[in-house]
Copies of this chain bind each other. A is one copy, B any other.
Amino acid sequence: MDRLRKHIEEITPVSDEEFEHVKTFFTLKRIKKHQYLIQEGEQVNFEYLILSGIFRMFYLDHEGKEYIVQFAGENWWMADYQAYFNEKKASLHITCMEDAEILCLTLYGREKLSSDLHKMEHFFRVKLTKGYTAQQRRIISLLSSSPQQRYEEFGQLYPHMMQKIPKKYIAEYLGVSRETLSRLYSNNKGK
């Protein structure tokens, strides 16, 4: 739980007392590679803060094709927020790509913490702000950049993911076929 405190204090300091309270809403879970956190159609009861490991969140279309909404590693939050906030069934899948430890928080917990502690409301607002601008950047990139450029941008933004994640998933994240990405990649080795 130290990790959690450190994570929160990157944004706002909290007293020991306050943290004792915060702590009570989180539960630790260990997840193995290939295990699902959420699957389409399920009730979404939690959001997750990742302490270690890597996950991918994806949408599965009617033909069984995957489209990656987000990768998440250390200190990232993730959930099917659409479902979580509106208490609907999940429309996304989240699966573990590397053994992980995560902290789970219910919607009730999030809202209670936010109303009990102004600080925590602030914390969540700041986090959302960052997520919002990151998503906007991605939208612009999807609209305006070529696969080539998107691939390079991805590498710059998330060098760590670039190393650890199989290319086929990166392709799904970028919105290109595996083959096309492979060709970009090999044509560029030279330069």
Chain A residues near B (Cβ < 8 Å)? 59, 61, 65, 67-69, 81-82, 85, 114-115, 118, 121-122, 124-125, 128-129, 131-133, 135-140, 142-144, 175
Contacts and interface: CB of A to CB of B under 8 A. Distances in A.
Given A59-B144, A125-B125, A143-B175, 12 more contacts: A59-B143, A65-B144, A67-B140, A67-B144, A69-B139, A81-B136, A82-B133, A114-B125, A128-B129, A131-B132, A135-B139, A138-B139
21 contacts: A59-B140, A59-B143, A59-B144, A65-B144, A67-B140, A67-B143, A69-B139, A69-B140, A81-B133, A85-B129, A114-B125, A115-B122, A118-B118, A121-B122, A125-B128, A128-B132, A131-B132, A135-B135, A135-B139, A139-B139, A142-B143
Contact of A142 (B115, B136, B175): B175
Contact of A81 (B85, B122, B129): B129
Nearest to A62: B144
A137 B143 CA distance: 15
Identify the interface centre among A124, A132, A143: most chain B CB within 10 Å of its CB. A143
A136 B175 contact: no
Contacts of A115: 122
A85 B136 CA distance: 13
Nearest to A143: B67
A121 to B, nearest CB: 5
Contacts of A85: 129, 133
